[in-house]
Amino acid sequence: MVKERILSVDIFRGATILLMVLVNTPGTWSNVYGPFLHADWHGYTPTDLVFPFFLFIVGTSIAFSYKGRKVNAEVYKKIGVRTLKLIALGVFLGAFIIHFPFFKNFQDIRFPGVLQRIGVVFFFAAILFINLDWKKLIGVTAILLIGYWLLMTFVPVEGIASTLDRAPNNLANWLDVQVFGSHNYKADYDPEGLLSTIPSIASALLGIFTGLILTSKQEKKATILMGLGGSLLIIGHIWDIVFPINKALWTSSFVLVTAGW
């Protein structure tokens, strides 16, 4: 039996891919249209919406695929296999080059990455979804976002007060350097690092809630989603005052604003 397609999600997925193509192929990197560049650090541009939109779609897809499904060993196996495939493919692409010897030196291979994060986020979001009801998922989402905020703003780094700037005493940056060393995107930070993966799981969970609404028997789905989206935008921009919107750090305010859009 073929499941009915949800047109709005297909359109959203296609529009996100279109934006990704425009961002990744601007024609010339020497003169790029401003909105097709990432924000320097704090703040966001349309380009910064691409990745969180994909994670949001991962969440909606989880809701469509696993809602009402009987949980058994086979389901866990499929989730695990899909996760490992995404991580392995991400590491492979990070190591591959188009000329002989076709692979980078080991010390130059980047371990974190976009596909790796998608795999990890899919795993945790799917496991949470099949084991918890929507009320508990809301609690988990709140814990992830508030907990990350507290970690990033109140935990000192080697005795120095934490900062949200791109600096050695930024907790997310510091942890990535300690764990990955030269295998980061940059010498001092990675936009798909370890600690910032925690709130990115919340991006998928917010997509799950949207998927549940879309597949529910609610009559005013568009009105509900518009209200929730607007609320997330407002809360995210208010939170930005104390926890700046930042894609590289995947701050909690960034999660809410991007999910709101």
**Among all chains, which residue has been given the structure tokens 């499941």?**
3
Q: How far is CA 226 from the centre of its chain?
A: 21
Q: Tell me which DSSP letter residue 188 carries.
A: S
Question: Could you tell me which residues come within 8 angstroms of residue 113 by beta carbon, excluding any fewer than 6 positions away?
Answer: 90, 91, 93, 94, 192
133 lies in some domain? yes
How high is the pLDDT of residue 143? 98
2 lies in some domain? no
1 lies in some domain? no
Integer-rounded Cα radius of gyration of the chain = 19
CA distances from residue 195 to 1, 61, 106, 112, 261 in whole angstroms, order as listed: 41, 24, 23, 11, 24
How high is the pLDDT of residue 4? 73
Q: How does 200-227 read in b/e, with b if 16+ C-beta sit within 10 Å?
A: bbbbbbbbbbbbbbbbeeeeeeeeebee
Residue 198's nearest CA partner among 153, 138, 260, 145 is 145
How far is Cα 4 from Cα 76, in angstroms, rounded to an integer?
24
168 lies in some domain? yes
* pLDDT tens, N- to C-terminus, the chain (261 residues): 446 788 889 999 999 999 999 999 988 888 898 899 999 999 999 999 999 999 999 999 999 999 988 899 999 999 999 999 999 999 999 898 888 888 888 888 888 999 999 999 999 999 999 999 999 999 999 999 999 999 999 999 998 999 999 998 999 999 999 998 888 888 778 899 999 999 999 999 999 999 999 999 888 999 999 999 999 999 999 999 999 999 999 999 999 999 999
Q: Are 81 and 232 in contact (CB under 8 A)?
A: no
How high is the pLDDT of residue 75? 95
Residue 7's nearest CA partner among 233, 222, 217 is 222
250 lies in some domain? yes
243 lies in some domain? yes
Residue 51's nearest CA partner among 259, 238, 260 is 259
66 lies in some domain? yes
233 lies in some domain? yes
Q: Number of structural domains, the chain?
A: 1
Domain that holds residue 181: 7-260
